[in-house]
Chains A and B, each alone.
Chain A
Amino acid sequence: MPDSPSNLEPALQVENLHKRFGELHILKGVSLSVAHGERVALLGSNGSGKSTLLRSSLRLIEPDEGEVRVLGKSVRGLSFRKLRAVRSSVGFIFQKHNLVPRLSALSNVIHGTQGRSGCPGSWFQMFASQKTRQDALDCLSEVALEHVAGRYVHNLSGGQSQRVAIARALMQNPEMIFADEPVASLDPEAGLQVMELLSRLATQKKISLLFTTHHLEHALQYSDRVIGLIKGKIELSEQTKDLSLSDLRGFYE
């Protein structure tokens, strides 16, 4: 990996982050960091603040207090244009694939270039340059779905759709990927394939990965470090190699 200035500090640095929804105090001073190329699993019960933490990091939800640095840039207070530039280097995989229905898989993957280019070539594959189309097809090949490039995404299975969403994230050439319960809506087999794929790509391409999950086995198998949230506070942060399944079960009790 090239030694750029952004590599001198963590890919993600969160300090004293607070978020309230009315009376509900969801994040209570969360601080964490994710190193370049590190894979971090974020655990916690429903409502513990995992999704809010991920969304607040890219200001999809506006945090109330605290500091967030993504790839060396403080995102709080950034103008919309500069925020778009930061977001363009960070992939975000959602629990539901969130692809655009009635468009082909290839067009959906090409959407990954929208942070860098606002032109119609990033909206639909028919307007995209030959290079962009080829890059998108290569990203689909990375997730073994090059054969569905021309198919409408609403006709794909849940697992295939999530892999197209991963291809869309790869199209961003991301330095970091957030994944918010990426396998929660998939059957165990498809879920395993998606986690395997995400983890392999993150390792091969040295992409930092922060994923939330309720699957303790996935946390143990696909992360370098596990962070645990309880009621908006970090109560666990350990290297995965030092943890066992019973430790993680104990965390939930």
Chain B
Amino acid sequence: MSSQPASLPPRISMPHPVHTVLYLIIIAFAVTSLRGAGISFDDLSDGFPEMLRLIDEMFPPDYSRLERIGGLLLETFQMAFAGTLIGVLVSFPLAAFASRRTAPHVIVYHATRGLISLFRTIPDLVWALFFVATVGIGPFAGTLTLAVDTIGFCGRFFAEAMEETDKGPQEALTALGASRAGIFFSYIVPASMPSFVNTSLFSLEKAVRSSVVLGLVGAGGIGVELKVSMDLFQYAEASMIIISIFALVLIVEQISSAIRKRILDA
């Protein structure tokens, strides 16, 4: 037991001088960012009546082309689903090479991590422009774009899920003589499965949202129809498309969250 009387710690500790400088730099950068972003309250107040007029023209929505919109919506979803499926299937082996726990060699680990980062950091619209230029306009370019985007997203999170598995069962299987393949398939994969499913479903939701935008650059789906409606000032038709997209995204999110809940509760 110490003979010194115990003293209460201060309520607020003063930050380290280096941290204080860092905070000031962040605040200064935030202020310059607000200026650099061209934020103007004058423009906002001038544009507000225009926004109201546009919204007014959007209602009631134009149902006359519902059949065509439905067909394009299905194509959009098929693109998203196929792209996600291909992406998830490719992500799985890539993630095994990109996880410290399962990578066969450090060079393979860094090379795979680099490839996944490349897929993730290049925006999907840039990938879409690349695929439209190489495989042509249409849903195939969109599907490839979504597959690459999914690999960038799922590859990283699958690898992290594998890395975060508890080391105990791996040690137990090692102790009883299991091979690396045995440990991977009988432990790492089932233990990471909830995270795999979760990430894949988020990826599908993300792909459905992205697939709408991809049409704007010619990569298939309903996006091009939305762009044409807006360009021709057919706001009632545009609102119908937006409502359809909203319904599709909502349905996909509801179904995927129901599947997620079922898996996590198992």
The chain A residues found within 8 Å of chain B, CB to CB, are 58, 60, 83-88, 90-92, 94, 96, 98-103, 107, 111-112, 114-116, 118, 120, 122-124, 152, 165, 168-169, 172
Contact = CB atoms under 8 A, between A and B. Distances in A.
Interface in B69-114: none
A103 B186 CA distance: 9
Contacts of B171: 60, 94, 98
Contact of A88 (B176, B185, B194, B266): B176
Categorize the interface residue count of chain B.
Answer: 20 to 34
B194 A102 contact: yes
A107 B178 CA distance: 14
Contact of A92 (B175, B179, B185, B191): B175
17 contacts: A58-B175, A60-B171, A83-B177, A84-B178, A87-B176, A87-B177, A88-B176, A90-B176, A91-B176, A96-B168, A99-B172, A102-B193, A103-B190, A111-B173, A114-B177, A123-B182, A172-B177
A24 B83 CA distance: 53
Contacts of B168: 94, 96, 98
Contacts, number: 84
Contacts of A87: 174-177
Given A94-B171, A98-B172, A114 B193 contact: no
B179 A84 contact: yes
B181 interface: yes
A88 B174 CA distance: 9
B187 interface: yes
Given A96-B168, A100-B191, A116 B177 contact: yes
Nearest to A99: B169
Nearest to B167: A98
A102 B176 contact: no
A103 B194 CA distance: 12
Interface in B150-166: 166
Contacts of B266: 102, 152
B176 A168 contact: yes
A118 B169 contact: no
Contacts of A98: 166, 168-169, 171-172
Given A101-B169, A114-B173, 14 more contacts: A58-B175, A84-B179, A92-B172, A98-B166, A100-B169, A102-B191, A103-B186, A114-B178, A114-B182, A115-B177, A118-B182, A122-B182, A123-B186, A165-B172
